[in-house]
Chains A and B, each alone.
Chain A
Amino acid sequence: MLKNMIQTSRLKSPWIIHFDCGSCNGCDIEVLACLTPLYDVERFGVVNVGNPKHADVLLVTGTVNHRNKHVLKNIYDQMPNPKLVIAIGACGLSGGVFREAPNVVGGVDKVIPVDVYVPGCPAKPEAIIDAVVAGLGKLAELQKQAAI
Chain B
Amino acid sequence: MARTIIPFGPQHPVLPEPIHLKLVVEDEIVKEALPQLGYVHRGLEKLTEIRDFNQMIQIVERVCGICSKIHAMCFCQGVEEMMGIEVPERAKFLRVIWSELHRIHSHLLWLGLYADAFGFESVFMQFWRIREKIMDINEATAGNRVIVSVNVVGGTRADLSPEQCNWILQELDWVEKETKRLQAVMLDDYTVKKRTVGVGVLTREQAYALGAAGPTLRGSGVAQDMRQFKYAAFDKIDFAPVTAPDGDCYSRGKVRFLETLQSVDLVRQAISRMPQGEIATKFKGNPEGELVTRVEQPRGELLYYLKGNGTKFLERVRIRTPTFANIPPLLAMLPGCELADVPVIALSIDPCISCTER
Query: When the two chains form their complex, are residues A22 and B42 in contact, meaning their CB atoms are under 8 A apart?
Result: yes
Query: When the two chains form their complex, are residues B16 and A32 in contact, meaning their CB atoms are under 8 A apart?
Result: yes
Could you say which residues of chain A place their CB within 8 Å of the CB of B64? 24-25
**Bound state CA distance, A124 and B139, in angstroms?**
11
* Size class of the contact patch on chain B: 35 or more
Give the distance to chain B from A28, nearest Cβ to Cβ, in Å: 5
Task: Contacts A36-B128, A122-B147 given; indicate if A28 touches B18 (C-beta within 8 A).
Answer: no
Task: Contacts A50-B13, A67-B38, A104-B42 given; indicate if A97 touches B59 (C-beta within 8 A).
Answer: yes
A94 is an interface residue with CB less than 8 A from chain B:
no
Residue-wise, chain B 1-37 has the 8 Å CB interface mask toward A (1 for contact) of 0000000001111001110000000000000000000
* Size class of the contact patch on chain A: 35 or more
Q: Which of B43-51, B287-295, B300-308 touches A? A: B43-51
Could you say which residues of chain A place their CB within 8 Å of the CB of B38? 67
Query: When the two chains form their complex, are residues A103 and B128 in contact, meaning their CB atoms are under 8 A apart?
Result: no
Query: When the two chains form their complex, are residues B65 and A28 in contact, meaning their CB atoms are under 8 A apart?
Result: yes
Partner pick for A28 among B16, B41, B129, CB 8 A cutoff: B16
**Bound state CA distance, A27 and B58, in angstroms?**
16
Partner pick for A24 among B12, B18, B47, B65, CB 8 A cutoff: B65
Could you say which residues of chain B place their CB within 8 Å of the CB of A20? 16-18, 40
B125 is an interface residue with CB less than 8 A from chain A:
yes
B334 is an interface residue with CB less than 8 A from chain A:
no
**Bound state CA distance, A86 and B11, in angstroms?**
17
Query: When the two chains form their complex, are residues B62 and A29 in contact, meaning their CB atoms are under 8 A apart?
Result: no
Query: When the two chains form their complex, are residues A104 and B43 in contact, meaning their CB atoms are under 8 A apart?
Result: yes
A26 is an interface residue with CB less than 8 A from chain B:
yes
Query: When the two chains form their complex, are residues A25 and B354 in contact, meaning their CB atoms are under 8 A apart?
Result: yes
Query: When the two chains form their complex, are residues A100 and B47 in contact, meaning their CB atoms are under 8 A apart?
Result: yes
Query: When the two chains form their complex, are residues B132 and A98 in contact, meaning their CB atoms are under 8 A apart?
Result: no
Could you say which residues of chain A place their CB within 8 Å of the CB of B47? 97-98, 100-101
B196 is an interface residue with CB less than 8 A from chain A:
no
Question: Which residues of chain A (96-142) have a CB below 8 Å from chain B?
Answer: 96-98, 100-104, 121-122, 124
Query: When the two chains form their complex, are residues A122 and B43 in contact, meaning their CB atoms are under 8 A apart?
Result: no
Could you say which residues of chain B place their CB within 8 Å of the CB of A96? 62
Question: Which residues of chain B (107-156) have a CB below 8 Å from chain A?
Answer: 109, 112, 124-125, 128-129, 131-132, 135, 145-147
**Bound state CA distance, A113 and B10, in angstroms?**
21
B39 is an interface residue with CB less than 8 A from chain A:
yes
Give the distance to chain A from B357, nearest Cβ to Cβ, in Å: 8
Query: When the two chains form their complex, are residues A22 and B16 in contact, meaning their CB atoms are under 8 A apart?
Result: no
Q: In the complex, what residue of chain A is closest to B149 when comparing beta carbons? A: A121
**Bound state CA distance, A63 and B307, in angstroms?**
27
Query: When the two chains form their complex, are residues B63 and A24 in contact, meaning their CB atoms are under 8 A apart?
Result: yes
Query: When the two chains form their complex, are residues A36 and B125 in contact, meaning their CB atoms are under 8 A apart?
Result: yes
Could you say which residues of chain A place their CB within 8 Å of the CB of B46? 101-102
Partner pick for B65 among A26, A37, A124, CB 8 A cutoff: A26
B76 is an interface residue with CB less than 8 A from chain A:
no
Query: When the two chains form their complex, are residues A101 and B39 in contact, meaning their CB atoms are under 8 A apart?
Result: no
Query: When the two chains form their complex, are residues A121 and B147 in contact, meaning their CB atoms are under 8 A apart?
Result: yes
Question: Which residues of chain A (7-64) have a CB below 8 Å from chain B?
Answer: 18-30, 32-33, 36-38, 49-50, 52, 62-63
Q: List 6 A-B contacts (CB under 8 A).
A: A24-B64, A27-B65, A28-B65, A96-B62, A97-B59, A104-B43
- A interface, CB within 8 angstroms of B: 18-30, 32-33, 36-38, 49-50, 52, 62-63, 65, 67-68, 71, 75, 96-98, 100-104, 121-122, 124
- B interface, CB within 8 angstroms of A: 10-13, 16-18, 38-44, 46-47, 50, 58-59, 62-66, 68, 109, 112, 124-125, 128-129, 131-132, 135, 145-147, 352, 354
